[in-house]
């Protein structure tokens, strides 16, 4: 859903990307640094129950990570390896965020909600893989009510407000994400099933598991260093 604002976001980030490019930092370095910062904030602060400050640190590094696409555009360093690295690092960041929430909730004695956070982590991986695998087989799979950007925004906003003492907001958000992610998986399965039934989309793979997916779910603008369309 947030894909509609990506062109506008790209225009806003391009001047910042030019400034960062002058420092000599490469797009891939930005990707790795951003992911490392997100993982550190999530796995150090969330398990200690510091949900507000963890959210602040994570948000800062998520915004920094979004510059990799802008820097790649202005420097001409757009590459398939950059696309692969960015998509893979996004998976690491997502896993760190929901793992940190899960550990923090478990330590706080909220075992059922920790299990919901684990479900959100797993379902998010399935959402991303379903699209990557579908497109690896030659189908289109541009559907889903809860793509990566939406999932991160909901989780981080709720965690931040929970850290400020707002009651029940994190529980509501995680349960909503669990439901919406499940619906998204169903949407993608249904979309691919219809295409397969109707004989649409000649596959790039052989249908036996050998045609690997060509990408993974991606965030707002950081996929701009890719040649292929980012998978969300």
Q: Which two tokens stand for residue 131?
A: 């699209």
Cβ count near 30 (within 10 Å):
24
Contact criterion met (CB below 8 Å) for 46 and 54: yes
End-to-end CA distance of the chain: give it in Å, rounded: 10
What would the two tokens of residue 104 be?
């923090």
| Catalytic one of 65, 68, 86, 90 | 90
Contact predicate 205/137, CB 8 Å: yes
Q: Which has the closest alpha carbon to 217: 179, 184, 190, 172?
A: 184
Based on the residue annotation, tell me whether 90 is a catalytic residue of this protein. Answer: yes
Q: Tokens for 68, please give them.
A: 């990799």
Owner of token pair 């075992």? 111
Task: Tell me how far apart the alpha carbons of residues 174 and 170 are, in angstroms, rounded to a whole number.
Answer: 6
DSSP 179-205: HHHHHHHHHHHHHHHHHHHTT-S--SS
To which H or E segment does residue 19 belong? helix 6-21
| Residue positions annotated with a catalytic role | 90
């Amino acid at each position: 859903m947030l894909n509609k604002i990506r062109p506008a976001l790209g225009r806003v980030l391009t001047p910042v990307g030019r400034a960062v490019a002058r420092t000599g930092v490469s797009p891939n370095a930005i990707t790795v640094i951003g992911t490392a910062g997100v993982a550190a904030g999530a796995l150090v602060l969330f398990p200690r129950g510091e949900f507000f400050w963890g959210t602040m640190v994570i948000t800062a590094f998520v915004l920094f990570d979004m510059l990799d696409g802008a820097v790649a555009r202005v420097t001409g360093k757009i590459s398939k390896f950059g696309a692969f690295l960015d998509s893979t690092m996004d998976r690491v960041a997502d896993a760190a965020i929901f793992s940190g929430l899960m550990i923090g909730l478990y330590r706080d004695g909220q075992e059922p909600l920790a299990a919901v956070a684990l479900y959100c982590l797993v379902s998010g991986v399935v959402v991303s893989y379903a699209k990557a695998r579908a497109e690896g087989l030659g189908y289109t799979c541009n559907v889903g009510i809860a793509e990566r950007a939406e999932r991160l925004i909901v989780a981080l906003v709720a965690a931040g407000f929970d850290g400020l003492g707002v009651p029940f907001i994190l529980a509501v958000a995680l349960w909503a994400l669990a439901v919406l992610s499940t619906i998204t998986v169903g949407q993608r399965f249904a979309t691919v099933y219809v295409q397969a039934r109707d004989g649409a989309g000649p596959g790039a793979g052989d249908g036996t598991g050998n045609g690997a997916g060509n990408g993974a779910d991606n965030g707002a603008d950081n996929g701009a260093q890719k040649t292929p369309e980012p998978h969300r």
